[in-house]
């Protein structure tokens, strides 16, 4: 049994299209005229001279399948020789099913396949997974594929507040890559250590889809109370309390204080809850307010006279006096 894994082959598919850093800046100035960009900013900040552009008809799976096919031909392997296919990329054809199945179908593989998504670190994590599966003896050959069309995620409409995070989206390129990891008797991948500082996630963001500007995702924002419903701050007209179409709604709206007197006595409360301190005029939870008896209705016919009280009979006495001696 081989106790190690190593990278035996690598292949890259690079599209023929190119876009220089100067062309990127010119297009950004056309779409964001309020920005005063100095010439050569992208090259000085990122060291980028040009980026590769895929054909508009190409999908991420196409770029990954071409790189994988080239690797199999270089390694003189058949599709049946691969035990597992991993797809690790930021770009994707679809959300369901896994894009690894699309790459496998285009490459002619019939092995198990699944995706690994961790943004720019996806390929590194795929190497970690492949190394662990090979060391435990579950697989001997793992093919890692990647297909990126990051140029399509470029954000061209920016202002000064979004320039810091939006400028990085203009440096992504289109490329396909493949790595073959095999079992080996000698050390190849000796180990890996991963650290994360998740609090700095806003430093580089790509929205999906990029054409819909929206606030960055984060923790739930403060809720504000409006008549009848609860809305999120900054999103007027977007109630949180919405029905699911069947059964009870997901979130029950709070009642307006002005509507409480009108609904007095009509709100059943769940058993075991405490009384509400904000509405002391409501009955305690678990109890129901007694309804006042209905007032007597007036009738046109005269009421019958009351009956005289019945005279108790001597036999109906509850107590018998003893006879005098």
Instruction: Please report the pLDDT score of residue 94 as a whole number.
Output: 92
Q: Is the pLDDT of residue 145 over 80?
A: yes
Confidence tier at 10 by pLDDT (50, 70, 90): very high
Q: Is the pLDDT of residue 179 over 70?
A: yes
SS3 string, the chain, reads CCCEEEEEEEEEECCCEEEEHHHHHHHHHHHCCCCCCCCCHHHHHHCCCEEEECCCCCCHHHHHHHHHHHHHHHHCCCHHHCCEEEECCCCCCCCCCCHHHHHHHHHCCCCCEEECCCHHHHHHHHHHHHHHHHHCCCCCEEEEEEEEEHHHHCCCCCCCCCHHHHHHHHHCCEEEEEEEEEEECCCCCCCCCCCCCHHHHHHCCCCCCCCCCCCCCCCCCCEEEECCEEEECCCCCCECCCCCCCCCCCCCCCCCHHHCHHHCCCCCCCCCCCCCCCCCCCCCCCCCCCCCCCCCCCCCCCCCCCCCCCCCCHHHCCCCCCCCC
In this predicted model, what pLDDT tens digit does every residue of 258-279 receive, in sequence order? 555 554 555 555 555 555 555 5
Q: Is the pLDDT of residue 239 over 60?
A: no
**For residues 66 and 199, which has the higher predicted lDDT (pLDDT)?**
66
Confidence tier at 166 by pLDDT (50, 70, 90): confident
Instruction: Please report the pLDDT score of residue 277 as a whole number.
Output: 56
Q: Is the pLDDT of residue 298 over 70?
A: no
């Amino acid at each position: 049994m081989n106790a190690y894994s190593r990278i035996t082959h690598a292949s890259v598919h690079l599209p023929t299209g190119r876009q220089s850093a100067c062309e990127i800046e010119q297009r950004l100035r056309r779409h964001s005229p309020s920005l005063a960009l100095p010439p050569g900013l992208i090259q000085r900040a990122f060291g980028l001279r040009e980026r590769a552009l895929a054909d508009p008809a190409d999908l991420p799976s196409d770029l990954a399948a071409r790189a994988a096919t080239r690797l199999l031909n270089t390694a003189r392997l058949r599709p049946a020789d691969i035990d597992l296919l991993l797809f690790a990329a930021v770009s994707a054809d679809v959300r369901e099913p896994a894009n690894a199945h699309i790459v496998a179908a285009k490459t002619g593989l019939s092995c198990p396949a699944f995706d690994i998504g961790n943004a720019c670190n996806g390929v590194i994590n795929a190497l970690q997974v492949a190394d662990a599966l090979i060391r435990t003896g579950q697989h001997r050959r793992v093919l890692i594929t990647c297909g990126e069309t990051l140029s399509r995620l470029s954000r061209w409409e920016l202002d000064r507040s979004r320039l810091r995070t939006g400028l990085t989206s203009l440096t992504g390129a289109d490329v396909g890559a493949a790595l073959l990891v095999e079992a080996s008797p000698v050390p190849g991948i000796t180990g890996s250590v991963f650290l994360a500082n998740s609090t700095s996630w806003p430093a580089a963001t790509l929205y999906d889809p990029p054409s819909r500007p929206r606030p960055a995702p984060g923790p739930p924002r403060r809720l504000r109370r409006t008549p009848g419903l609860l809305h999120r701050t900054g999103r007027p007209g977007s109630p949180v309390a919405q029905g699911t179409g069947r059964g009870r709604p997901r979130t029950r709206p709070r009642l307006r204080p002005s509507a409480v007197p009108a609904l007095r006595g009509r709100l059943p409360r769940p058993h075991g809850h405490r009384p509400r301190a904000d509405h002391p005029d409501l009955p305690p939870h678990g109890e129901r307010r007694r309804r006042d008896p209905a007032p007597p209705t007036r009738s046109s016919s005269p009421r019958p006279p009351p009956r005289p009280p019945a005279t108790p009979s001597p036999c109906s006495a509850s107590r018998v006096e003893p006879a005098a001696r």
